[in-house]
Amino acid sequence: MPEIEEMTEIEIEYEALLTQLRENDIDGFREDFLDLHTYEQSEFYSDLEEADRDLLYEVLSPEEVSMFFDSLEIDDDEAYDELFETMDARYAAEMIGRMQYDNAADILNKLPKSKVTTFLALMDRADAAEIRSLLNYEEDTAGGIMTTEFVSLSSLMTVREAMRHLKDVAQDSETIYYVFIVDEKRKLVGIMSLRELIVADDDEYIGDIMNERVVSVFVSDDQEEVAQIMRDYDFLALPVLDYQEHLVGIITADDIMDVIDEEASEDYSRLAGMSETEKTSDTSWETAKKRLPWLVGLTFMGMITAGMLSFFEDTLAQVVLLGAFIPLIAGMAGNTGTQSLAVVVRGIATGEVDASSKVKLVFREVGSGLITGLTCGTLIYLIILVMYQEPTLGMIVAFSLFVAMTVATFIGTLIPMFMNRIGIDPAVASGPFITTGNDIVSLMIYFTLANIFMAALL
């Protein structure tokens, strides 16, 4: 009899909640459900069937649903549309309006325009205006991920006035760990931490004690650059300015964690030779559609390799043993090229590779290729000498391996740098393309050397 997999504590809790919901135990369900963390609430909601979700809307207010919708993570954008199929439009509009504005804008960006128009029309006017302002920004920019729910103080306030104002607005702000100081034109002029504000003298003016050195970004800055800044400075929040340097929003650490995860998934997909991030829920047809463009390109590149083998057909016919080492040379060149590629792409993504360090990195990687190529070449020469008693063949294979591995590290380093220089994501220089390109180069080196020393082989 097969073992029954034990349920975790949270799964048992979810089962109990589902029973309460279906048996109309409203008081019990509300007490237990609202006691969960919002992440756990979102996980429970994500696993519900449509009929059970409809029951949940009947026992929870739009505000209570909005709390866990802020934590909701669904990979498939189309699934968001399905969530609102049976939800009453007024209920949905109020729920979205109660969400953090940046999260609300993210969800609306995934819905059909007809639904977005309806929800915004039914929403509270002030909430709709804030969300509309965020919908105007490109999705992958600072403006697209910022929130307009932040605390700002006038530089002309006293600390006492600032604390009173902070108490009034803190409830509606996403974070109050930092307070941003603006002048009468709402231009950003300084910043203070909550700690600095609390310990300051009540009668001091904010403008006299604020930190005037402020790191900020513009609404059009790429989200990946913003993530690097927040990582480098260890910020919990980062101010966002418009082109007139007015403070229009902030980006919080939780938003940047999502960006880092998204960018890492995207780079991983490209390094694996895929144009889009695949999901485990994708069908076979959807998976094939995402992989085919790259694989078709690699097929044509592979034809170059096939043509090269055909060109050197006479060489192979005369010394058949040469063919036995083709996978070795091509494979080792591809491996070393991919290693260099991974180092450079990661360095560019994290900001470790800049203009001043590029030359140093190229020399380091080529030096590594020389050392590893020499070591592997010497090793394969000794193996061929012992196994086949063919010193000339050993020299050809060893020298080809040495040159191929050195050139491969150079290509794997230079191509992503070049792509980054011309404004293309260096992750596009994916492992499969570098590997196939290095196959072509390494085989050219191998057969050229074999032709030169053909007389000694026969």
Q: How does pLDDT run across 342-353, given as a tens digit for each residue?
A: 788 777 766 677
Q: Is the model's pLDDT at 443 over the cut of 90?
A: no
Q: Is the model's pLDDT at 274 over the cut of 70?
A: no
Mean pLDDT over each residue of the chain, to the nearest integer: 83
Token digits of residue 396: 């050809």
- Taking only the tens place, the pLDDT of each residue in 115-127 is 999 999 999 999 9
Q: What is the pLDDT of residue 298?
A: 65
Give the range among 81-85, 162-166, 316-320 with minimum mean pLDDT.
316-320
Q: What is the pLDDT of residue 316?
A: 67
Q: What is the pLDDT of residue 435?
A: 72
Q: What is the pLDDT of residue 371?
A: 94
Mark 293-324 as b/e (b = at least 16 C-beta within 10 Å). Answer: ebeeebeebeeebeeeeeebeebbeebeebee
Average pLDDT (60-80) is: 83
Strand positions, DSSP E, 237-355: 237-241, 247-252
The pTM of this model reads 0.61
Average pLDDT (260-288) is: 64
Q: What is the pLDDT of residue 357?
A: 78
pLDDT bin (cut points 50, 70, 90) of residue 3 is very low
- Taking only the tens place, the pLDDT of each residue in 357-407 is 788 888 898 899 899 999 999 999 999 899 888 888 888 889 889 988 998
pLDDT bin (cut points 50, 70, 90) of residue 76 is low
The residue to which tokens 């994916």 are assigned: 430
Q: What is the pLDDT of residue 268?
A: 59
DSSP 8-state symbol, 141: B
Give the distance, in angstroms, between the CA of residue 186 and the centroid of all CA atoms in the same chain.
Answer: 33
Average pLDDT (201-210) is: 92
pLDDT bin (cut points 50, 70, 90) of residue 227 is confident
Alpha carbons 382 and 268: distance in angstroms, whole number:
38
Q: What is the pLDDT of residue 454?
A: 67
Q: Do residues 254 and 106 lie in contact, with contact meaning Cβ atoms separated by under 8 Å?
A: no
Q: Is the model's pLDDT at 64 over the cut of 90?
A: yes
Q: What is the pLDDT of residue 2?
A: 42
Alpha carbons 189 and 202: distance in angstroms, whole number:
21
pLDDT bin (cut points 50, 70, 90) of residue 182 is very high
Q: Is the model's pLDDT at 323 over the cut of 70?
A: yes
Ramachandran sector of residue 123 (left: φ over 0; alpha: ψ -120 to 50; beta: rest): beta
Alpha carbons 330 and 438: distance in angstroms, whole number:
7
pLDDT bin (cut points 50, 70, 90) of residue 290 is low
Give the range among 131-135, 252-256, 318-322, 405-409 with minimum mean pLDDT.
318-322
Q: What is the pLDDT of residue 420?
A: 79
Q: What is the pLDDT of residue 75?
A: 64
Give the range among 209-223, 260-274, 365-379 with minimum mean pLDDT.
260-274
How far is the first Cα of the chain from the last one, in angstroms, to the nearest whole number? 67
The better pLDDT of the pair 356, 277 is held by: 356
Q: What is the pLDDT of residue 91?
A: 94
Q: What is the pLDDT of residue 4?
A: 42
Alpha carbons 121 and 124: distance in angstroms, whole number:
8
Give percent above pLDDT 70 in the chain.
85
Q: Do residues 113 and 87 lie in contact, with contact meaning Cβ atoms separated by under 8 Å?
A: no
- Taking only the tens place, the pLDDT of each residue in 148-181 is 888 889 999 999 999 998 888 877 777 788 889 9
Domains parsed from the chain with CATH numbers: 9-136 (1.25.60.10), 152-268 (3.10.580.10), 284-457 (1.10.357.20)
Strand positions, DSSP E, 18-177: 152-154
pLDDT bin (cut points 50, 70, 90) of residue 273 is low
Q: Is the model's pLDDT at 356 over the cut of 90?
A: no
Q: How many CA atoms lie within 13 A of 336 on its CB side?
A: 30
pLDDT bin (cut points 50, 70, 90) of residue 28 is very high
Q: What is the pLDDT of residue 354?
A: 72
